[in-house]
Copies of this chain bind each other. A is one copy, B any other.
Amino acid sequence: MNNNPLKIGYLGLGIMGLPMTLNLLKAGHTVKVWNRSAHKAAPALAAGTTQGATPAEVAGASDIVFINVTDTPDVEAVLFGPNGVAAGAKPGLIVVDNSTISPVATREFACKLAGLGVAFLDAPVSGGDIGAKNGTLSIMVGGDEATFEKVKPVLAAMGKNIQLLGPVGAGQACKACNQICVLGNLMATCEAIKLAQAMGLDVQKMAEVVSAGAGGSWQLQNLGPKIAKGDLAPAFMIDLALKDLAIVLDAAQKSGLDLSGTAMAEQRLKQAKGKTDGRHGTQAMITAW
């Protein structure tokens, strides 16, 4: 499939990273993986990846290294910690960060890597575990155009709508906008379901007909039926959503911007975490009422 196949590294095989890695394999790429808990790489190895002992080892063997870990300090550790990417990187390496982290820290990381001759793109994604499995993610990219053009064909194995939004950090800035919509639409979904229940409507039918009109959203269409069934299993965990909302509200504060709706969604999620468990899916927001 690829005349001059690239050597790809993927660091972080969580609920998103694993299916994204599998789609890279399906597209014909050679992939070497690393995960903090090494045994969790088993499904990737079974599908045909190799495994590195450290991020440094994977970086040394790759043309492009993807990172998909939880938070800003995790990306920092994978990049610059002992046996991190920076310790193994050869000049010319491209690092692509699929994690959702701070736009400000992102610019610092890119700057340090540039000093080693390593290019960087921030490329957070949206579309949930479903989008990761089906290769239909939205990918929001920040970085320079030349690097973007080199990486875009590889990103196409994992996502459908791939946009370069500006210089390094712009991908994370766009992801912050995305999370405002994700959690704000979820709050509206929960309020609609609470009223539907109060008025004796079938929640499943309500979600179906509202999804098809001007009230439609990914959240209502995908999480409405889960809420109707009482299924709180995580696709996107409350704890991760709260991490993302902290990034969003920090960015808003730095801009002097009033995001009261987003702040209220954060409060509902915190209530739900207190009442149930932060490891539930975000649809557990419904328990806040």
Contact = CB atoms under 8 A, between A and B. Distances in A.
Interface residue SS majority, chain A? helix
Interface string A2-46: 000000000000000000000000000000000000000000000
Counted per complex, copies of this chain come to: 2
A126 B215 contact: yes
Contacts of A108: none
Given A131-B214, A215-B126, A215-B178, A251 B199 contact: yes
A1 interface: no
Contacts of A208: 161, 163
Nearest to A282: B214
Contact of A215 (B191, B218, B261): B218
Q: Interface size class for chain A?
A: 35 or more
A215 B179 contact: yes
A16 to B, nearest CB: 11
A88 to B, nearest CB: 32
Nearest to A236: B214
A189 B195 contact: no
A199 B255 contact: yes
Contact of A173 (B188, B196, B213, B255): B196
